[in-house]
Structure 1
């Protein structure tokens, strides 16, 4: 899913680190795909995913929580929401590009919590972008 995100912060030391806001939810992620220059305070179309460096930790939760919670001061997050075949709906839709969720058919259409090592942000190139 493509969202319009406001760039809130660019890290001066880590080129890929960017803090964005989507629908009032602010989080920090890594943008490995950014086909144009971005600026703080401006809005851009993005797609959101996640990165698992070691092992996916996923568990069913009680209730219908949809949220993103940062773990400490690092880049890890808990993503809580409704699990689908290739997405998790945490109020913001996260794409499962690496097909992790296919290993958990028993959790489909249930509310779950996953722990991710970082959130990935892809800035989408549009036909109106200057070349």
Structure 2
């Protein structure tokens, strides 16, 4: 799903690190595709995803939480929301590009918590101001 993201912060040391806000949800991710120079305070069209380096850690949770929670000062996050066949709705929708969720049919349409190693951000060629 394409979102309009406001760039809140660019890391001066780590070129790919960017903090954005989408629909009131702020998080830091890695701009793995960025075909142009981005600036703080401007909005851009983006796609978002997640990266799992080792194994997927997913569990059902009680309640109807939809949130993204950073773990410590690193890049890991807990994303909590409603799991679907190829997406998780956490207030914004993350698509499961690597088909991790298909291994968890019993958790479909339930609220879950997933631990991800980082959030990926793809800046699209169309910009919005």
Shorter-chain TM-score tier = over 0.9
Give the structure 2 partner of residue 41 of structure 1: 41
Compute the displacement of 1:73 (Å): 0.6
CA RMSD after TM alignment: 1.2
The count of corresponding residues between Structure 1 and Structure 2 is: 128
Compute the displacement of 1:24 (Å): 1.1
TM-score (norm: length of structure 1): 0.94
Give the structure 1 partner of residue 68 of structure 2: 68
Structure 2 distance, partners of 1:34, 1:97, is 19
TM-superposition CA deviations, 1:54-99 (whole Å, max 9, x none): 0100000111000000001110000000001111000010111111
Structure 2 distance, partners of 1:36, 1:99, is 29
Question: Unaligned regions of 5+ residues in structure 1, if any?
Answer: none
Question: Unaligned regions of 5+ residues in structure 2, if any?
Answer: none
Give the structure 2 partner of residue 19 of structure 1: 19
Structure 2 distance, partners of 1:124, 1:26, is 19
